[in-house]
Structure 1
């Protein structure tokens, strides 16, 4: 594990990280058996670079220094709400390549976000996982990382 580091991504990391975004979305669709995402690698790369530069998302990457490749990432954005007592973070995506799982890399990514949030004065960090049996292991992972169910379900309306 000494060869794995986590650092904040720059726009130069967007191409390699966008590939991992595609892997994450495909894994979710395979798990639920429904094509719910549209993924275009070039659009995602450009969007990710914009999000990083404009700080719409803060992105942390896990890098295998021996292989010189990004093997995981987490994206988080800042929000503000009265219920959250001000500023807070929401993790939008978290992914570690399957061959690197169960090695503490997800923990390293989340800890980097928590440290970043502390620096920004966040009171809390939120994440959503679908309330489906296919995501029970994901829920258990987040609970091991100190998250607790806070009620409700995430809903969307396409506009």
Structure 2
């Protein structure tokens, strides 16, 4: 479909509204996450209703991690981790820790899909439905040849 100049100007004005950009980014993130754990390049827009990130932590195996927890709808959470650096290939694990029962949800299984190579990337967990007033955190860790680094933690979201 081709737009004439007037239609193109209208579309550009709509895209400049923060609400529409957030809605589009949230929809894209939801579609990505609904399909499972996904790796995207750094700089991907991630609009959510609530988000808490931790400080940059590490490095472990040359990788620095910054985990975040996002609430995309009431009680629906996922974790994401921004990874930079790396001097070796590693396997990444990320999930949402529920303080009410001490369980971490959404960690993708142990598979080559979790392999990360030196550079910069975002990695996402599966979505989880959690009801916990004591807080949920995004957590992440890297492992090399089965030896895991300590968990990196986001700041909590209290639900």
- Same fold per TM (> 0.5)? no
TM-score tier by shorter-chain length is: under 0.3
Higher RCO structure (Cα 8 Å, ≥6 apart): 2
TM-score (norm 2): 0.28
TM-score, normalization by structure 1: 0.28
